[in-house]
């Protein structure tokens, strides 16, 4: 089982949340959090803003006088255009099927009248901690992350608007290499993120760790050793996340000039 409480205490996670709260604008009232999960950020937003709509694929259960819970899908939001002063969407876009990604971004942009805040993993190596589903045999990228982002990609997804602020919280992104990945793949990805909450992205069943013979375990340990050397000697100080805040009213005034 994925231990959410333990994860929230990790230093990188604290840095991520601090960055979000520091970057968010003070002058908003109606806020949409698209993809709120357990409501950890939602409750922080409720301390800061008058009215927070917490949306997720499964109806969230967050009890707070300023929070309204809504079931919904960010690829098709049931809100009128410009319904919110601020739309915040973190740790969501990396999960959206690539064919739906542009639609999801357009929807987030459509429902904000002023601010849009996006947070995603930065240049994530999607091969790291990949898993293989024992049920359907397909390969899953770690924690169901199917998209990797950098500033350029995010900018182009949101119409290349000028951003107001950007931050890159967290340090030390873990990378793999072709040989280690090939070995892991051969043995069914023994070091995959099997404790994740997300099920198989192909068949929806729970992911289970493969059982390996001793020779297989030794070969995989060799692959792991290679990866460790690579990460200790390579440029490991790459940020973990990228956060961007846009003020779309600034774009409108730039266009008018
Ligand atoms: Zn599967």
242 CA distance to ligand 1 centroid (A)? 30
Instruction: Name the residue among 53, 48, 60, 47 with its Cα closest to residue 30.
Output: 53
**Mean pLDDT value of segment 110-125:** 96
Q: What's residue 2's pLDDT?
A: 67
**Cα–Cα distance for residue pair 1/212, rounded to 1 Å:** 21
125 CA distance to ligand 1 centroid (A)? 21
pLDDT at 255 over 70: no
Are the CB atoms for 108 and 55 separated by under 8 Å?
no
**Cα–Cα distance for residue pair 52/67, rounded to 1 Å:** 5
233 CA distance to ligand 1 centroid (A)? 35
118 CA distance to ligand 1 centroid (A)? 29
54 CA distance to ligand 1 centroid (A)? 29
Angle formed at CA 64 by CA 108 and CA 4, multiple of 5 degrees? 75
212 CA distance to ligand 1 centroid (A)? 19
**Mean pLDDT value of segment 125-136:** 93
What are the φ/ψ torsions at residue 43 (nearest 5 degrees)? -65, -35
pLDDT digits (tens, 9 = 90+) for 169-223: 998 778 899 999 999 999 999 999 998 888 998 999 999 999 999 999 999 999 9
Largest distance between two CA atoms of the chain: 69
pLDDT at 4 over 90: no
Q: What's residue 24's pLDDT?
A: 98
194 CA distance to ligand 1 centroid (A)? 12
Classify 147 as helix, strand or coil: coil
For the segment(s) 4-256, the CATH number from 2.30.110.10, 3.40.50.720, 3.40.1160.10, 3.40.50.150 is 3.40.50.150
Confidence tier at 10 by pLDDT (50, 70, 90): confident
Distances (CA, A) of 20 to 65, 81, 219, 244, 247: 22, 24, 41, 9, 15
Please state, for a pLDDT cut of 70, what percent of the chain lies above it.
96
pLDDT digits (tens, 9 = 90+) for 134-152: 999 999 998 889 999 999 9
Write a three-state SS string for 182-219. Answer: HHHHHCCCCCCCCCCCCCCCCCCCCCCCCCCCHHHHHH
Q: What's residue 165's pLDDT?
A: 95
**Average predicted confidence (pLDDT) for the chain:** 92
What are the respective helix, strand and coil percentages of the chain, to the nearest 5? 35, 20, 45
In terms of pTM, does the model score above 0.85? yes
């Amino acid at each position: 089982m994925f231990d959410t409480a333990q994860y929230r205490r990790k230093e990188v996670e604290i840095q991520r949340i601090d960055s979000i709260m520091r970057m968010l604008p003070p002058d908003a009232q109606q806020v949409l959090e698209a993809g709120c999960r357990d409501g950890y950020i939602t409750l922080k937003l409720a301390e800061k803003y008058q009215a927070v709509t917490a949306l997720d694929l499964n109806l969230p259960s967050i009890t707070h006088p300023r929070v309204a819970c809504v079931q919904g899908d960010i690829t098709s939001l049931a809100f009128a255009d410009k319904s919110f002063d601020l739309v915040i969407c973190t740790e969501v876009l990396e999960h959206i099927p690539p064919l739906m990604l542009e639609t999801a971004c357009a929807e987030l942009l459509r429902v904000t009248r002023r601010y849009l805040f996006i947070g995603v993993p930065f240049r994530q190596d999607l091969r790291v901690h990949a898993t293989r589903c024992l049920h359907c045999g397909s390969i899953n990228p770690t924690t169901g992350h199917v998209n990797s982002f950098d500033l350029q990609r995010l900018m182009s997804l949101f119409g290349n608007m000028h951003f107001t602020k950007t931050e890159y919280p967290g340090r030390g992104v873990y990378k793999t290499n072709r040989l280690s990945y090939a070995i892991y793949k051969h043995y069914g990805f023994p070091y995959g993120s099997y404790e994740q909450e997300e099920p198989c992205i192909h068949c929806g069943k729970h992911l289970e760790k493969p059982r390996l013979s001793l020779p297989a375990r030794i070969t995989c340990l060799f692959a792991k050793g290679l990866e460790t050397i690579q990460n200790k000697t390579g440029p490991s100080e790459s940020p973990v996340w990228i956060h961007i805040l846009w003020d779309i009213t600034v774009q409108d005034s730039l266009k008018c000039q």
